[in-house]
Structure 1
Amino acid sequence: MAVPQGTRAPVIFVLEPFGGSIRRNNPNLPFIFWDDAAVTRGDGVFETLLIRDGKAANLRRHAERFRSSARLLDMPEPDAEYWARATAEAAEAWVTERGEGVDAKCVWTYTRGRASTGFPSAWLVLSDIPQKTLDQRANGVKVMTTPRGFSVDTTLPGVDEVTRGGTGPGEERRVAPWLTVGAKTLNYAANMAALRWAHAHGTDDVIYVDPRDVHPDKGPRVLEGATSTVVLAKSKKRLRTPVPGGEVLPGTTQAALFEHAEAAGWRCKARDIYLRDLKTAESVWLVSSVRVAARVLSLDGKTLEVGGDPEEVRALIEGALGS
């Protein structure tokens, strides 16, 4: 008898952040202290990966962004090989207990640690993908557009590079080095509040737009989804996505998709996209690691017309998972 989605216990591994032992934790027992910065400040970073066929999809890009996020928060750089080994061990346990062919959501969490010790905390969790996520992957989403509610001045010297995660070890930290927009931090309360607002108003998701940057004919500039990257499919095998940096987090799934699609003969570019561009595209997608690809069915209450072959685009996105 099949176990209902979302009712199985997660696989939790607690890590030594600088390498060392990896221990499995009983899901019913706590392992985070009251003074951990993850709890008291949301001070830490995370990555969410898809486990498919017992392997982490798009692992290299996730590891690179994980390290970049840690650098932006001035945390010790995580050992990518160590995290990859821990993930492989957890995935092996998942397959042993769940069987082949069951996707999992894997979350890496790395915090500044306890105030009393100053030593970072680290763990990873494999869990069932929520049924709602699977439904959106299969059936698409209704979306509303909204301003994010804050802005980043990317005209300041160095800010755009920092928010792209482009400031590496030994490089000069220039203006506003405390900006962490380019990092996947644990402080996702605003994103979750935006999704709750969308649900309360009869939609599934949001696409953020910039009310300061309005094209006279096309409307406001498009940024990203609350937990996803926006991708447009256009005629003549073209894919477009908003330029990353500033208020747009570089997307690992989008990067893998563009590499895979270009090898298949598509022309892919990051460029400024405006609201009207979404309405005139052949199809609009929200891409992310676990939901993978959710086609946007309607925008601000109006159905988006579909052109081309959306299943061809979906197949491209699915095919990019191994890139």
Structure 2
Amino acid sequence: MASNNPEKSVEPIIIAVEPFGGSIRNHQPQLPLVFFDDAAVTRGDGVFETLLLHGDHACNLERHAKRFVASSRLLDLPEPNLDYWIAATNKALEQWRERTDRDAKCVWTYTRGRASTGIPTAWITVTAISDHVLEQRQHGVKVMTSPRGYTIDRVETTSTDDEGNVVATSSPVAPWLVVGAKTLSYAANMAALRWARGHGFDDVIYMEGDKVLEGATSTVVTVRGDKLRTPIPGGDILPGTTQAALFEHASQHGWRCKAKELRREDLLRADSVWLVSSVRIAARVRRIDDVKLERPDNEDEIRALIMGALGA
């Protein structure tokens, strides 16, 4: 049966990227691209970024590019040539615009490559945004809270600077646990989302005891009065590009924005709670576990603020 959604008929765009420079070439989406021994398939060993294509630009491009480089460094991948990736993205955007004026999801993928060659593999995809995502943008989400299932232990040390002041530092016990990188190892996150949906929820907010961490694929933001708050990024919380853009934009419009440790009670007493991410942009949390969150009077204002931060 034919879909009544015009986006379903828009063919994906696949662009193969030479990690060290070279030609930018299209790849037929009906043909295989990844080899059987690529580390993305056998180990989930690689990084990615997901961007929103809106109008004539890729939203929040600079922040995505910086995080892409940081993730690559954390995985000891050769540093990507951003000019090359951006040129490939612009080519993909131009091709997408020849087909439709709708928004799209653009994913950069960079892997350690084939075991037989040791040469990294890279590609860009542009696809239609699903009805499911658009519905959550509009109607919000019900979330369950859950432990992530692991914590990142840290060692606290002290030293004395040249002026005799005691300086405290913190370092991870297992620095190879690169939670701060946006890696391809998302099986646990997807399993958490399937579990949530199987139990009547749309999404998950990870907790460490009573401490709020992040969503399975999003950053948590609370609104109370003129204050926007988010958990402190770093360590076992991935820095959010959409949240960073929102805080910069909102600060310029008189909002008081701060990253701080959030507790469950902070979620429940907030005027509103949002899950923000690149493609879904903003989904208001309508329910947390068994607690219903009322629609705030300024929902449209907050939504417009987040959209404005991305130029969407």
Give the TM-score normalised by the residue count of structure 1: 0.89
User: Residue 77 of structure 1 corresponds to which residue in structure 2?
Assistant: 79
Of 260, 270, 277, the match for 2:249: 260
Alpha carbons 1:145, 1:209 under 8 Å: kept: yes
Distance 2:290 2:11 in 1: 38
* TM-fit CA distance, 1:79: 1.0
User: Residue 314 of structure 1 corresponds to which residue in structure 2?
Assistant: 303
1:234 matches 2:231: no
User: Residue 211 of structure 2 corresponds to which residue in structure 1?
Assistant: 221
The structure 1 segments of at least 4 consecutive aligned residues displaced by more than 3 Å after TM superposition are 1-7, 154-157, 173-177
User: Residue 145 of structure 1 corresponds to which residue in structure 2?
Assistant: 145
Amino acid at match of 1:201: H
* TM-fit CA distance, 1:3: 5.0
* TM-fit CA distance, 1:55: 1.2
User: Residue 109 of structure 2 corresponds to which residue in structure 1?
Assistant: 109
Q: 1:195-219 CA distances to partner (integer Å, 9 max, x unpaired)?
A: 00000000100000002xxxxxxxx
Amino acid at match of 1:15: V
Alpha carbons 1:232, 1:240 under 8 Å: kept: yes
User: Residue 98 of structure 2 corresponds to which residue in structure 1?
Assistant: 96
Distance 1:92 1:156 in 2: 50
Distance 2:108 2:147 in 1: 29
Amino acid at match of 1:284: V
SS at structure 1 position matched to 2:97: helix
Q: 1:52-81 CA distances to partner (integer Å, 9 max, x unpaired)?
A: 003100000000000000000001011111
Alpha carbons 2:39, 2:45 under 8 Å: kept: yes
Gaps of 5+ in 2: 158-170
Alpha carbons 2:40, 2:112 under 8 Å: kept: yes
1:244 matches 2:245: no
1:101-180 alignment runs, 5 A limit: 102-155=102-155, 176-180=174-178
SS at structure 2 position matched to 1:248: coil
* TM-fit CA distance, 1:130: 0.7
* TM-fit CA distance, 1:174: 8.3
User: Residue 304 of structure 1 corresponds to which residue in structure 2?
Assistant: 293
Q: 1:7-55 CA distances to partner (integer Å, 9 max, x unpaired)?
A: 4220000010111111101000011111000000000000000000031
Distance 1:156 1:179 in 2: 17
Give the TM-score normalised by the residue count of structure 2: 0.92
Alpha carbons 1:232, 1:283 under 8 Å: kept: yes
Distance 2:5 2:145 in 1: 37
Number of equivalent positions: 297
1:284 matches 2:269: no
Q: CA RMSD in A?
A: 1.7
Alpha carbons 2:155, 2:173 under 8 Å: kept: no
Identity level (%): 61
Gaps of 5+ in 1: 158-172, 212-219
User: Residue 191 of structure 1 corresponds to which residue in structure 2?
Assistant: 189
Distance 2:232 2:172 in 1: 22
Taking a change above 3 Å as real, the CA distance of residues 22 and 303 of structure 1, as seen in their structure-2 partners, is: same
Q: Mean alpha-carbon deviation: is it higher for 36-45 or for 297-306? A: 297-306
Q: 1:117-140 CA distances to partner (integer Å, 9 max, x unpaired)?
A: 000000000000010000000110
Distance 1:174 1:132 in 2: 37
* TM-fit CA distance, 1:156: 5.5
